[in-house]
Amino acid sequence: MLFNSLAFAVFLPAVFVLAWSLHRAPLRLQNLLLLAASYLFYGLWDWRFLALLAGSSVLDYTLARLMAERAETERARKRLLILSLGVNLGVLGFFKYFGFFVDQARALLSLFGLDIGTATLEIILPVGISFYTFQTLSYSLDVYRRVVTPTRDLVAFLAFVSFFPQLVAGPIERAEDLLPQFLKRRVFQEARARDALRQILWGLVKKVLIADNLAGAVEVAFGQHATLDGLSLGIGAALFFVQIYCDFSGYSDIAIGAARLLGFDLTRNFAVPFFSRDFTEFWRRWHISLNTWLRDYVFLPLEVSARRRHQVRRRTQPSLPRTPPAWRTAAHMGFVFTLSGLWHGANWTFVLWGALCGLYLVPELLRRRPSAAGVVAQDRMWPTVGELARMVGVNLAITLSLVLFRSKTLGQAGDIYARMVTEPWLAVDHLQWLEPMALAAFPIVIEWFQRRRPHGLDIGHWPQPARWGVYLALIIALVLHGSVESREFVYFQF
């Protein structure tokens, strides 16, 4: 069930009415309703994978309780954690990467004259598996670290893992943030519900009006790259940057708004990333829930381990500096971003995209200077010339990296990069890009003026006539100019 479908337009109000009609009922009954709604939502994609979702949830619920209540030694706790990590990552690896690794093994063996055949097992990728797997993994890791006390309420835990607003494309929630919200009674607040509807509308505008309409121009740029010049290809890459942002952040806005309608607060997943002044700031503002997950569960453990090893070496070599060299931190960051690229998909284009994004961060890490803090031009209307130049530089570099992200093969990406250099300008019609460029500028302009707000349509403080004028204008634009084709969200494939 797509957020941008008529089915969801019926489903969400129905769940809203039923959920709040039970506001005086036992909390377990309310959670059972949300659990049933979430399983129905997911089952409409493919009911066969409901067992996988439920089985993964029950496994981590059970292992977490065993870790906290039955394991008497640290060694026993670690074994339970390894079992959780092994099963979850094994299932994720099988569904997402089995075909990729088989193809790579076949190609490698062919170099030595060995042929293992061309048949490949066709494996359907369960929607959202990368997101809910990371969510349950963080629960097991936090229980092991004693950051979270495991719940004994199985229904609440199952509802936490499968909560339909964020089930298939995040935000990736932590148990310490979302699970307690299932364990306490929720109170309806009209002001929150109104703002939730505004955020849902803004998400639909970004998805249906902007991202889906830009998709056609992006497909032309990447599908016909062999006939286009460097300028057109650069514009196409920039349009894809805006498309994927509006597509994914639009999903996140709808997810956060839908959850707030039901009395829940989800993590903000995007925070005006186009206005970042360095790469560190950009990744603090883009896909926040994934980047903080990788920071807390991959990067920081690597850093802590390196510091411990360094301190051990200093006992025998006092001349060593007090902290590990900056290049080691840069290497850890490069590994994390390469892993992030692999998380996005089983393709070398994603791996190299992640490695390139990690490479962008190296100069900043080696300088060890603090990243830009706060929203740009916090107390001013416009940025300084220096801030504007840095924002342009960051966005240009990210745009170039996204050629890898959008290309289906390394060969296609290489051809596009080559034509950008060798054919920078041809006598082709560049006017075709004016309309999509104007469309792409719309959400960026809106979010500049709303950059201090949680979302682009946070206008509850405006006079009522102005507010309703904006609502009606956006709804009319959606009806008249929204994409007639109901496209899936880009991140569903991950």
The one-letter code for the residue type at 3 is F
Cα R_g (the chain), whole angstroms:
24
Q: What is the pLDDT of residues 193-212, one digit of tens each?
A: 999 999 999 999 999 999 99
Q: How far apart are CA 142 and CA 175, in angstroms?
A: 8
Residue 121 clears pLDDT 70, i.e. is over it? no
Q: What is the pLDDT of residues 167-182, one digit of tens each?
A: 988 899 999 999 999 9
- Residue 389 has what pLDDT? 96
Residues in the chain: 494
Q: What is the pLDDT of residues 217-246, one digit of tens each?
A: 999 999 999 999 999 999 999 999 999 999
Residue 300 clears pLDDT 90, i.e. is over it? yes
Q: What is the pTM of this model?
A: 0.93
Residue 117 clears pLDDT 70, i.e. is over it? no
Cite the active site residues. Answer: 344
Q: Average pLDDT, stretch 242-256?
A: 96
- Residue 111 has what pLDDT? 62
Q: Average pLDDT, stretch 289-306?
A: 93
Q: What is the pLDDT of residues 57-108, one digit of tens each?
A: 999 999 999 999 988 889 999 999 999 999 999 999 888 887 766 666 666 6
Question: Nearest 5 degrees, angle CA 110-CA 116-CA 119?
Answer: 115
How far from chain centre, in Å, is Cα 304?
26
- Residue 160 has what pLDDT? 96
Tally the C-alpha atoms within 13 A of residue 369's C-alpha that lie toward its C-beta. 11
Q: How far apart are CA 131 and CA 171, in angstroms?
A: 8
The one-letter code for the residue type at 184 is K
Question: Nearest 5 degrees, angle CA 484-CA 490-CA 493?
Answer: 125
- Residue 29 has what pLDDT? 95
Residue 118 clears pLDDT 60, i.e. is over it? no
What average pLDDT does the chain have? 91
Q: How far apart are CA 381 and CA 449, in angstroms?
A: 8
CB 144 within 8 A of CB 60: no
Q: How far apart are CA 340 and CA 288, in angstroms?
A: 12
Residue 493 clears pLDDT 80, i.e. is over it? no
